Amino acid sequence: MARSLILFTLLVMAYSIQVKINECTCEQVLKQDECDEYPIGGGIECDWNEEKKVCESYRSVECSILKGSEICRGLTSCGWVNGKCVNFKQCSDYQETVDQKCNDINYTCILIKDDQCGKVSIPECESFTPELCKNTSEQICVLSGSPAKCVTMKKCEQGSYNQSQCKKNLISCIWENDKCRDKKCTDIQTKDACRFISSFDQYTATLCQWTAQGDCIERNEDDFTENNCFYDSACGRVWKDGKCQSCSASPDPDPDPPAPIPSYHQILSIIMLLLAIII
């Protein structure tokens, strides 16, 4: 009895819902307010088409109307090619023979091979002096160890040097008991903020849920409603046909939705289950 109780607790603790952040495209969003307020990012915005009653995507910057190489090259998503401002993705899409031509496209482009433009490599945190490490905005560089060295922060524990280093990743890390640790749902104090916790790279999220007792906990049930389906799923699901459906599923009507890939946490639950049986 005691063992199964422990097992049950472990299972509940280990199960959580992981999603990709902003997985829905504008076109998948079905409601006007969700469409207009969708912070999709990446140089794309969503806009509700009143006439067709659909959500459409558009580039927030239209490069072709920009005049002059200076303004054009200053924007992340535009490049100056053959005297025109064009939509730009990456330096390596262009072939040139002289360095200046690559650099004309975007300030970060240089000639890396005979006929290939590439990106200027960003100096690594490890090469920064402790003084420079405190200031740089290029990547998350933090001081670590004693004597303090500059390192690339890839997880919250690496920000444990002091509070200001930890705060360099405010979205997913939190300073507590003289240590930097991952933020958890239980750190969220208000109902409105109780939606999800971003992973360190802000690519995926762990979903949270507000309880009747007034706590924010890790979500372990798929009990979304029409009103919270979109936002509480980190913009990864939409309410359709009376259900909260994942935007990653195929857009064609499919009576059998594909089985979800087991998340790390689910695999962990299974391992714990096996362990508990062996013990």
Ligand X SMILES: *[C@@H]1O[C@H](CO)[C@@H](O)[C@H](O)[C@H]1NC(C)=O
Residues that bind ligand X (CB under 6 A): 73-74, 76, 90-91, 106-108, 119, 131-132, 134-135, 143, 162-164
Find the shortest distance in angstroms from Cβ 273 to ligand X. Answer: 43
Distance in angstroms (rounded) separating the CA atoms of residues 81 and 101: 9
Give the number of other CB atoms < 10 A from CB of residue 101.
Answer: 16
User: DSSP characters for 164-177?
Assistant: HHHGGGTTTEEEET
Please say which residue, 108 or 266, places its beta carbon nearer to ligand X. 108
State the nearest-atom distance from the C-beta of 82 to ligand X, in Å.
17
Q: Of 145 and 262, which CB lies nearer to ligand X in the complex structure?
A: 145
Complex with ligand X: residue 64 or 76, whichever CB lies closer? 76
Q: Which of 259, 167, 159, 265 is nearest to 220 (CA)?
A: 265
Distance separating alpha carbons of residues 89 and 262, to the nearest angstrom: 33
Q: Cβ atoms within 10 A of the Cβ of 143, count? A: 23
Cβ of residue 164: shortest distance to ligand X, in angstroms? 4
- For the chain, how many helices (H) and strands (E)? 7, 16
Measured from the CB of residue 179, what is the shortest distance to ligand X in angstroms? 14
Other CB atoms within 10 Å distance of the CB of residue 188:
19
Q: Distance between CA atoms of 265 and 237, rounded to whole angstroms?
A: 20
Nearer to ligand X, 12 or 132 (CB): 132
Q: Which is nearer to ligand X, 31 or 119 (CB)?
A: 119
CB of 207 to ligand X, least distance (A): 31
Question: d(Cα 154, Cα 198) in Å, to the nearest integer?
Answer: 14
User: Whose Cβ is closer to ligand X: residue 55's or residue 117's?
Assistant: 117
Least CB distance to ligand X at residue 95 (A): 16
d(CA 78, CA 170): 29
Rounded Cα distance between 201 and 199, Å, is 6
CB of 240 to ligand X, least distance (A): 35
Cα–Cα distance, 158 to 128 (Å, whole number)? 16
Least distance from ligand X to the Cβ atom of residue 186, Å: 24
In whole angstroms, what is the distance from residue 191 CA to residue 199 CA? 20
User: Which residues, at least 6 apart from 50, have a Cβ–Cβ distance to it below 8 Å?
Assistant: none
- State which residue, 31 or 134, has the beta carbon closest to ligand X: 134
Residue type, 202: Q
- When the beta carbons of 37 and 62 are compared against ligand X, the nearer one is 62
